Structure 1
């Protein structure tokens, strides 16, 4: 019988359906010589039998993941920067006819979204626990509070700034195990017709594409319309809209409001029906996912081993958080992948978590080009391939593994 634990949303029973084994912190890129100090935990995922929330079985302390040294920058991708600017403009336009609107972002990172809101003269606040990126946001003219958003913080924000017309979170809410405190805080902070809008990786896309590297320490929950509707109802909120997004391998933008305040759109019922048809609330469907994960892992390891034995050079592209899952689950190390190129200065000169592959500046990619490039940042594939035309022209080939292992020249 599979291991069970209590649901962090509703206290129902969570039944484990896949175990990725011993994993490091996904964003803890270690300095050479400090490998012995790494923190590891068991990465396993399960389904709640009551609210149908898919979630990690073991929680990593938040202070270990989100701190002064947190290396991820939301503005690092040109395409994603445009995405955030469009989101911000949408909020600015929505609030254009309101008197002195107030927009709050949970986990504002380096301020890439709120910068547009600030330039439009709209009152705003970013709540960001990682001090380094919060300082970057403040440098862009964004008002930032360095803190983890919880119920007491929400009360403090409302007392100082008044109710929020929009509360927004992107790739943040799924990171937070203590959801009750978050949602009670949002409920108490919202104006009567205010909305809580958040976008996160969609369980349906993860299952359909077998994008299992979306499962790592920072992603505690994997949302679907059923589970979001259930968790909202527990805290006086209602799911009133959903929108599918193509970013990051497939996300959904959920909109919550105070219960009864707004009429749910037809899109909500449509997505709920799609999830039933796809079996996303069924444990057996999720167990089938595990067999596909194992096949991808075996195929990728076999390919890399064969290329090494042929004397081919393989370099990975993008020292992503999600690459920690596939590297450590599949046992891929520097014997199979000689280096990972990445544009983030804070990661360069360090080693990938657990697998200890050297991370080098992006300029090293063409000095000289490798024979093969393993694309970890597959969610930015179009942007990367467009930038690296020289690699293709040199005869280089890309290796991808979502939804299956493929080798392509473009």
Structure 2
């Protein structure tokens, strides 16, 4: 993919190269471990015009969500559930959501956010391509159009609830390849006073904090406010509010409406000035990024190799997509890590892609007498550390690189 998916510019620079990786969120069943697994280049291109960062290679969406069983659930921890409750409360208040207003969420996953909106009286419709996630949402009583975002799916949603007061996409807007088509369709589905809201990892946080494991094939885009503003303006949408939070190491929640008079030019300009001041769009910034993550890689590997020489049993904690990027970039496998632990029923009993490590329940950290836990789900690291210490009080916990536990 050599054209910018936001502005169409052909002047893109390859700034991040992480090697060849499998699809990071495709956890394998036992019978799949013995079959050849596809590997794809995981590189990122920076647009010199609008500042958008995007993956160089796009894996077909059917392969990511339909052909393989999707395993990430939005309600996978107390931290996640609390975040979506806060999202619902904050957004509802900001947009003045009324009972019976129609809320459409694309990439609605297991329906946790829409369930919160229904409790406020809203009419909620989800759109999600994963059959397994649509089934989980149905168990919550959330109606889901089992499809990718587009005119067809939105027409089904509109017939059900009318034009929307809110259309939102959270940690999924960055998964969409046909961004311009999707934003145009969503804009048409909004009421005149409606809001388009997306939440996504913030490129500035990802680069400044060296969060290379936030890069994987599902994340096609890495948004700055500069690129988001450019995209919305192309389709008659104008940013009215921006909120910055620490979810996933740093996310932006961006609100947009159709009325140009509501455009918050000062807020947008302040964010873009901060991005430019941090040299977010400079090639030198990405050279520094690549050098730092390589240094962290070798430091972590030296630590792990030393522990293995001492005969220590090491488990990776948290079967996360970001963890798969890390383990495949670090080339961790059964020679260095004994197994991975998690508490998700969607993951236990499966194997990690590329590294082919079995995923066991967190309880195994005690029964298997694990000496060292490598926390790869650092975004819920504090929660995991407290939980794991209750299971195995003698375990030593380490974090790759210099990441902070959130």
SS in 1 for 2:112: coil
SS in 1 for 2:125: strand
d(CA) in 1 for partners of 2:88 and 2:127? 16
Alignment of structure 1 residues 140-155 onto 2, 5 Å:
140-155=140-155
Offset of residue 263 of structure 1 = 3.4
Q: Which residue, out of 17, 29, 32, partners 1:31?
A: 29
d(CA) in 2 for partners of 1:259 and 1:11? 25
The equivalent of 1:258 in structure 2 is 258
Offset of residue 183 of structure 1 = 0.4
- For the 8 Å contact 2:99–2:120, the answer to whether it is kept is no
The equivalent of 2:247 in structure 1 is 247
The equivalent of 1:279 in structure 2 is 279
The equivalent of 2:309 in structure 1 is 309
CA deviation map 1:153-208 (0-9, x unaligned): 33443344321111111111011111011101111011112111111111111111
The equivalent of 2:320 in structure 1 is 320
d(CA) in 1 for partners of 2:261 and 2:100? 20
d(CA) in 2 for partners of 1:178 and 1:287? 29
Count of residues in correspondence between the two structures? 403
d(CA) in 2 for partners of 1:82 and 1:97? 20
Offset of residue 236 of structure 1 = 1.7
Alignment of structure 1 residues 196-345 onto 2, 5 Å:
196-264=196-264, 266-345=266-345
Would you say 1:90 and 2:87 are equivalent positions?
no
Alignment of structure 1 residues 345-364 onto 2, 5 Å:
345-364=345-364
- With over 3 angstroms needed to count, the CA separation of the structure-2 counterparts of 1:160 and 1:30, relative to structure 1, is closer
d(CA) in 1 for partners of 2:279 and 2:2? 22
d(CA) in 2 for partners of 1:158 and 1:63? 24
d(CA) in 2 for partners of 1:352 and 1:143? 31
Extract unaligned runs of 5+ from structure 1.
Answer: none
- With over 3 angstroms needed to count, the CA separation of the structure-2 counterparts of 1:142 and 1:230, relative to structure 1, is same
- For the 8 Å contact 1:211–1:402, the answer to whether it is kept is no
Offset of residue 117 of structure 1 = 1.4
The equivalent of 2:5 in structure 1 is 8
Q: Which residue, out of 4, 14, 17, partners 2:15?
A: 17
d(CA) in 2 for partners of 1:105 and 1:166? 8
SS in 1 for 2:351: coil
d(CA) in 2 for partners of 1:33 and 1:131? 21
d(CA) in 1 for partners of 2:99 and 2:346? 42
d(CA) in 2 for partners of 1:257 and 1:30? 41
- Over 6 Å off, 4+ runs: none
- With over 3 angstroms needed to count, the CA separation of the structure-2 counterparts of 1:157 and 1:391, relative to structure 1, is closer
d(CA) in 2 for partners of 1:370 and 1:327? 19
The equivalent of 2:41 in structure 1 is 42
d(CA) in 2 for partners of 1:50 and 1:288? 21
The equivalent of 1:51 in structure 2 is 50
Extract unaligned runs of 5+ from structure 2.
Answer: none
SS in 2 for 1:22: strand
The equivalent of 1:178 in structure 2 is 178
More off after superposition, 57-66 vs 89-98: 89-98
Q: CA RMSD in A?
A: 2.1
SS in 2 for 1:180: helix
- For the 8 Å contact 1:91–1:166, the answer to whether it is kept is no
- With over 3 angstroms needed to count, the CA separation of the structure-2 counterparts of 1:261 and 1:112, relative to structure 1, is farther
Alignment of structure 1 residues 378-393 onto 2, 5 Å:
378-390=378-390, 393=393
SS in 1 for 2:281: coil
CA deviation map 1:114-154 (0-9, x unaligned): 11111222112111111111111121121211111113433
TM-score normalised by structure 1 residue count: 0.93
SS in 1 for 2:329: helix
- With over 3 angstroms needed to count, the CA separation of the structure-2 counterparts of 1:30 and 1:9, relative to structure 1, is same
d(CA) in 2 for partners of 1:302 and 1:365? 23
Offset of residue 246 of structure 1 = 1.0
- For the 8 Å contact 1:200–1:253, the answer to whether it is kept is yes
TM-score normalised by structure 2 residue count: 0.94
Alignment of structure 1 residues 60-139 onto 2, 5 Å:
60-67=59-66, 69-94=69-94, 98=98, 100-139=100-139
CA deviation map 1:27-74 (0-9, x unaligned): 222233533331211110110111110000000000111127211111
